[in-house]
Each structure stands twice: as C-alpha cells, then as structure tokens.
Amino acid sequence: MKKRLLVIGIQEENLFHLTKQLEYIFESLITIKCITLKEIQSDSIFPSDVVLLAGSETQGLIKPFLPAESVCIVAERTENTANLKQLFYLESKKNLLVINDNENSTAETVDSLKQIAPGHNYSGYSGHQPIPKNIDFIVTPGETNLIPKGFTDIIDIGPRVISIETLSSIKKYFHFQLNNELLIQRYIKAMILLANDGIKYDPTSSISDQNLNRTFSQLSTKSALMKSTLEIAAKIAQTSTIVHVQGEAGTGKQMIAEMIHNESSYSHLPFYVYNCSDSESSSIQEELFGSTDGRIKGVIDYTTGGTLYVKNMERLPYSLQEDLLEFIKFNTNRKKIRIITATIPNLDELQKNGIIHTAIYSYASSCILKIPSLSERKEDIKYLIERFKTHFNKKELSFSEEAIQAFYQYQWPGNIRELYNVISYCVCLDSMYITPDSLPLYFRGNQEKRDAESLTEADAEYIVSQIEVHGFLSESIRLLSLYKEGKSKHKSYGRRKMKELLLQENYPLTDQQLRLRIEVLNKHGLLNVQKGRRGTTISSKGETFLELLDG
C-alpha cells in the first residue's frame, strides 16, 4: 500500500490551511489526506501512514486508533513571516495585544512573535479583561472574530503554519530526494503563496468525502422533529427516487445522505460525493461531466453504480444544470445510480431567484428532506455531548450546570459541527471539569452578549430576590458599581484591591465575606471572574442589570 501523509486535527479550517501549505511544498511527491477527529474510525489510519497531528493536544485522543507500525509526528507551528510585513515596518516599542483562540495558543504566538519581530511590547489577551488604553494594535493569526467590537487598529497575520523542522521530518520519513536548500526555497514559496492567494476556507466544504457506513440505527435523538425527519429518510431509502436534502451548514446533511445510501438497495455499491463549492466554475465542467472532447472523464463518467451525492448544488453553474438534468433523466436507470442533491438555502427560494433551473427543481422538489438546525432540536445537546465525549474516549469529562445552561441558551449558528468543535476544544484542556470560563473565547463572548441583550426587568427582579436571600443586596450593588467604574478605566480588580475600595465606601468586608458575594454575583453571570492575578470585571449582563435597577 502506498504511504500516505495523514493530517489529523480538530478544526476543519485549520486543516484546510495546513493542507494548502503541504501541497505547495511537496506538490505531487506525496499523497496527502486530511481527517478531523470526528471522522476517525478504527480503520481510518493505515499501518503504512505517516500521521501528522495539527497539535499536541490531539496525541492522547488518536492513540486508540493508531496502529503500532504508524509513524506519528506532532506539527510544530509558527507564524507565516510573509504576513508580518506590517509588523516589521512598525516603529519600535509599540504595545501589541495578541488575540488567539485559547490561552495556550495565545502564549505560543506571543513567544514566537517576540523572536521573529522583536522590538515591540507583546501581551496576550485573556478574554474577559478590558483592553488596556495604551494598546497601539491588536495582532491576531486569523482570529478576527474574537476581537472586541470597536477596536479598528488590527493586524491580521493569517493562520499559523507548519515549521521547517516538521517539514524536514516529513521529508525524512518519505525518503524524498529533496535537499535542504530546495526544501527551504519551497517553504518560502509556500509562505508567499499562502499570504497572497486569497484562498479562504469554505465551511460548507468537506475535508473528507468517505462513506463511514453509518445507519439510522446508530443515530439516537430525543427531538420529535428529528425523529420525524429520520422516519421519512428511512422510508425514502427504500426507493430509488432522487432526493434533495436541505439544511443549514453543519446540520449533518452528508451524514443523512450516507445513511440513505447505506439503508438502500445501492448499499453494496460506492457512495460518491461531489462538492460544487470545492472548485471554480470553470473546473466543474471537466470534474463532474468530463471534457467536451471526451479525452478527460468526469465523476459521472467513471461512476458505474451506487449513489452520487451532489452537495452545495446552489454553487453548480446554471449552464451546467441542464447537463445534470440530462444525466438524471437518461443515465440513472442504465447505470444504477441514485442521485441525492443538497443545498443550504431553501430550494424553493433558489428556484424563484433563478439560481436553480426550473427543470432540475421539478425533479429535486418531488422529495425534499429538511434537516433541522441544532437550535430546533436543543433537547439533543446533552446526548450529542455524551456521544462526542465517547468518541474522544473522555467519558470522565464533566460540565458545570452553568456551562450546560450556556449550551442551551446559545443559538449554535454552526449547528452540530460547531458543538463538536466546542467539545473538541474542551477535551484538550487540562481540566476535566468545564465551567463557562473554560469555554472558547468566541463562545463566551457571544453568550455574554446574548445574556445581556435578553435580560429583562423580570430577570433582574429574580436576581435581586436571590441576592436578598443572602442579605447583602446593597453591598452587591455597590460591588458591581465599583467593577463597572474599573471597567470604564480598563482595569480589573483582585479581591485585595476590591476590599480596599469597599472599605473607602464604608463597606468593610472580610476575605470570606467578599468571596461569598463574588461567588453569588458570578453564579448569576454578573461578573467575569478570572483565575490567578488577572482580576475580575463586570460582565455585559452585569452592566445591563445595573441599568435596569437604575431605570
């Protein structure tokens, strides 16, 4: 069996950029396959594979799936120097705040930048602390969504890349006749191309199009809406009709298509996937239908039987939809091929807006299967969390009541894929007990904003009643006010400093008394309590709470 480089990581977007770098450097010398942790099965890794892990946090998670003969390399990551031009030309001694997706990655980025672009004052952003007033620029490796709103002086240095040392290890294991000088030249070329090609990760794209042999019996749900969807899908599977699956990104459309295939009379034949969003319009003609002169065969030419799943059909050029229609009308019976199409937008709207051909619509609309979003089936959240924990062999991982409540209150725009990514993040943490403060920065930020926006006068009255049970309402309100004043000055306070401020306000408290008041306020989401010496600030919900009391 030919040796492959199997790249394994948690996030699809991260794998996408790493794969582009590897392709630019090794070109056709190597077979590269990417797979996320959620796709790993017992037979995903071949003994002959060279496994490249996107980060050290995944080592323990893939160990149960790793054959003893496989070579495993943990990728060392660094910044793409081709993206650092703006840093290099800054006047020295600028105050730069680094924001990444978690504290460990932030610390690594800070250390790396100090060595590559010295001469500036770098500090890491912890998430809840206010941005200091003296910050000149925020620096982020592609995580602009984490930057607090209103800050415009941003330097995006792009996603981190694989280091030259790791690439040398790959070269060694594949026995490439590639001297170090040429490897460095290709490395530099890749850095320049990644910095200038403008390729963006498309979350609707699939990293791995493989049939994982999943069936309906493997998918449990407590959602009545999802149960109804699965019942309909199981009945559809027994027919040969064309099926159209629609639903938001991350809802599991391809998984349902696989299940339909595996429960059908086509199950002994291949399950082919063509993603219309993976290629430029000019390339789809040859890839899907072959060249007009017949010299190049497309997916449809070499598909001799089974199921063809055409995903993101809204990206299929209008001019080629008639070709797909002809194949549906005349070739499916002859070749024993079943067609399943999928779109993210509603098929009716696509047809009305002239994006989907009326003739294609007439076929696809005869059997539409709508996959509910995670926000429509929130009763499945706990089940999905347990399923993902089992997948990672992390059954001992537990979540606080507040963390679980945050999961139910969140709207999950990325659906099950996003939930999986959040749990993936959690299983890689040192702690086996997850609190809201343990969740990813973007998740905390979105949740906090939503909590603040959704807080009503009735909610505020309930919180007041809960604080009054302890008998320290006035002290708690003053405590919140002091934290709010500190936030306006871009300051966070530890308990010692807060004791001093309260004493000046004629509220003398012991350490134990202050700790209890902070715990109660934090329980209701009114504070952002940080570990260690990073101090505490008022949350957006806490500020809204004070406004409602003043009103």
Q: How far apart are the first and last CA of the chain?
A: 72
Predicted pLDDT at 203: 40
How confident is the model over 335-357, as pLDDT tens digits?
Answer: 678 899 999 999 999 999 999 99
Query: Which tops the pLDDT comparison, 145 or 143?
Result: 143
Q: Which amino acid is at 522?
A: N
Q: Which amino acid is at 414?
A: G
Distance between CA atoms of 135 and 95, rounded to whole angstroms? 5
Predicted pLDDT at 538: 86
Predicted pLDDT at 452: 59
Residue 303 corresponds to which tokens in the numbers above?
Answer: 């598909």
| Residue whose entry in the numeric block shows the structure tokens 């910050």 | 135
DSSP, collapsed to helix, strand or coil, labels residue 308 as strand
Distance between CA atoms of 64 and 74, rounded to whole angstroms? 16
Predicted pLDDT at 209: 41
**Across the strands, what pairs with 123?**
97
Predicted pLDDT at 551: 67
Predicted pLDDT at 445: 58
pLDDT grade for 207, boundaries at 50, 70 and 90 = very low
CB 276 within 8 A of CB 289: no
Please work out, in degrees rounded to the nearest 5, the angle formed at the alpha carbon of residue 352 by the alpha carbons of 349 and 354.
110
Predicted pLDDT at 350: 93
Residue 506 corresponds to which tokens in the numbers above?
Answer: 């004629």
Q: Output b/e per residue, 214-239; b: 16+ Cβ within 10 A.
A: beeeebebebebbeebbeebeebbee
Dihedral angle at the C-alpha atoms of 220, 221, 222, 226, nearest 10 degrees? -150
Most confident of 152-161, 274-283, 289-298: 152-161
Query: Which tops the pLDDT comparison, 239 or 402?
Result: 239
Predicted pLDDT at 454: 62
The enclosing H or E element of 34 equals: strand 31-36
DSSP, collapsed to helix, strand or coil, labels residue 398 as strand
> How much of the chain, in percent, has pLDDT values that exceed 70?
91
Q: Which amino acid is at 450?
A: R
| Section 513-541 average pLDDT | 80
Sheet containing 50-53: give its strands across. 31-36, 4-9, 50-53, 71-74
| Section 315-344 average pLDDT | 83
Distance between CA atoms of 290 and 327, rounded to whole angstroms? 13
**Phi, psi dihedral angles at 307 (to 5 degrees):** -120, 130
If we measure between CA atoms, which residue out of 210, 257, 265 comes closest to residue 240?
265
Predicted pLDDT at 199: 54
If we measure between CA atoms, which residue out of 270, 300, 279, 104 comes closest to residue 205?
279
Distance between CA atoms of 338 and 266, rounded to whole angstroms? 8
Residue 175 corresponds to which tokens in the numbers above?
Answer: 């026995």
If we measure between CA atoms, which residue out of 43, 54, 50 comes closest to residue 11?
54
Predicted pLDDT at 202: 44
The enclosing H or E element of 112 equals: helix 103-116
**Phi, psi dihedral angles at 296 (to 5 degrees):** -110, 125
How confident is the model over 445-469, as pLDDT tens digits?
Answer: 555 555 655 677 887 888 898 888 8
| Section 30-54 average pLDDT | 86
Predicted pLDDT at 206: 36
Give me Rg for the CA atoms of the chain.
27
Predicted pLDDT at 197: 62
**Across the strands, what pairs with 77?**
162
DSSP, collapsed to helix, strand or coil, labels residue 4 as strand
Dihedral angle at the C-alpha atoms of 445, 15, 206, 255, nearest 10 degrees? -70
Q: DSSP state, 472?
A: -
422 Cβ neighbours under 8 A, 6+ residues apart: 439, 440, 443
How confident is the model over 2-17, as pLDDT tens digits?
Answer: 789 999 988 777 888 8
Q: Which amino acid is at 471?
A: G
DSSP, collapsed to helix, strand or coil, labels residue 306 as strand
Please provide the DSSP assignment of 155-186 as one string. Answer: EE----EE-HHHHHHHHHHHT----HHHHHHH
The enclosing H or E element of 341 equals: strand 337-343
Predicted pLDDT at 275: 87
Distance between CA atoms of 312 and 63, rounded to whole angstroms? 34
Q: DSSP state, 424?
A: H
If we measure between CA atoms, which residue out of 399, 400, 498, 409 comes closest to residue 459?
409
Distance of CA 183 to the CA centre of its chain: 31
| Section 418-440 average pLDDT | 83
Q: Check pLDDT > 90 for residue 492.
A: no
Distance between CA atoms of 139 and 162, rounded to whole angstroms? 19
458 Cβ neighbours under 8 A, 6+ residues apart: none
Distance between CA atoms of 414 and 92, rounded to whole angstroms? 40
Q: Check pLDDT > 80 for residue 334.
A: no
| Residue whose entry in the numeric block shows the structure tokens 């500190």 | 486
Positive or negative: CA dihedral 221, 227, 233, 235 = positive
